[in-house]
A and B are shown apart, each in its own frame.
Chain A
Amino acid sequence: MLVLSRREHQSIMIGDDIEIVVLDIRGEQVRIGIRAPKDVTILRQEIYAQVQQQNVEATETRPEDVPE
């Protein structure tokens, strides 16, 4: 993993069309701004993880438990 230190209002470019800006830092929270093309999906990692976890759980569903 590439590790960079940034201060408030500094940013990082990913490729030539995605910019990540550190907007401000308050205690343990960092506010981040993202500039990216409209077709790029940006999500909090934990939402992905929740959906994935639920998919795994869903495959345990048995036909005999399905209501008629």
Chain B
Amino acid sequence: MTVETRRFGTIEFEEEDVLLFPEGILGFEECMRYVVLKHGEGSPFFWLQSLDRPEVAFLVADPAGFEPEYSPEMPPGVAQFLRLDETTPRLVYAILSIPHGKPEQMTANLAGPIVVNVTERLACQVVVEDGEWSTKHPVFEGAGGTEPSAATAA
């Protein structure tokens, strides 16, 4: 199957690649079907591309890659909603934001991670309320300054 997207032109996907978000993503409740696209070979970044609206795509990454301490408490109901038990393979993605032309100021929304039941291709955005994680968590240390210090740290 193919779908038109604004950023990536026409993309091909298989039905079994589709991730279903029964409640959508907050602010995009009408977009329920997504595919995950690699940003590039070997890149830690992926795009969550909506199949319902060509212009809707989210840059995402596994938060463990930049924030090893990240293990937010899941609100009750999430496991049931996603039909997860202890053994179900799952993925967690953080939605990333990059101000135009300023990749060093990339932030991750750690208050609203995406949780995926890999087996059932079922996903949702979870709102984490432990006060510890922000919607604008800097991905690179020292972000906001002119030098991304994480890139230069020895």
Give the B-binding residues of A (Cβ under 8 A).
Answer: 38-41, 43-44, 47-48, 50-63, 65-68
Q: How many residues of B contact A (CB 8 A)?
A: 37
A54 contact set on B, CB distance < 8 A: 95, 97, 109, 111-112, 135-136
- When the two chains form their complex, are residues B40 and A59 in contact, meaning their CB atoms are under 8 A apart? no
Residues of chain A with a CB closer than 8 A to B65's CB: none
The contact sample of 26 A-B pairs, CB cut-off 8 A, is A39-B76, A39-B80, A40-B76, A47-B111, A50-B135, A51-B111, A51-B112, A51-B127, A54-B111, A55-B25, A55-B26, A55-B28, A55-B58, A58-B58, A58-B59, A58-B95, A59-B28, A59-B55, A59-B56, A61-B59, A62-B98, A63-B7, A65-B102, A66-B45, A67-B45, A68-B43
- Chain B, residues 31-73, CB within 8 Å of chain A (1/0): the string is 0000000011001010100000001111100000000000000
Q: Which residues of chain A come closer than 8 Å to B58, judged between CB atoms?
A: 55, 58-59, 61
Q: Which residues of B contact A (CB under 8 A)?
A: 7-8, 25-28, 39-40, 43, 45, 47, 55-59, 75-77, 80, 95-98, 100-103, 106, 109, 111-112, 125, 127, 129, 135-136
Complex: chain B residue closest to A62, CB-CB: B100
The 4 closest A-B pairs by CB, nearest first: A51-B112, A54-B135, A52-B26, A52-B27
In angstroms, Cα B7 to Cα A62, docked, is: 8
Distance (whole angstroms) from the CB of B143 to the closest CB of chain A: 12
A68 to B58, CA, bound (A): 17
Known pairs A54-B111, A65-B101 / 10 extra A-B pairs, C-beta < 8 Å = A40-B77, A47-B127, A51-B125, A51-B127, A57-B97, A58-B97, A59-B57, A60-B100, A62-B100, A68-B40
Q: Do A65 and B98 have beta carbons less than 8 Å apart? A: yes
Q: How far is the CA of A65 from the CA of B106 in the complex (A)?
A: 9
Among B55, B56, B135, B136, find the residue whose CB has the most chain A CB atoms closer than 10 A. B135
Known A-B contacts A51-B112, A66-B45; the reply to A39 vs B77 at CB < 8 A is yes
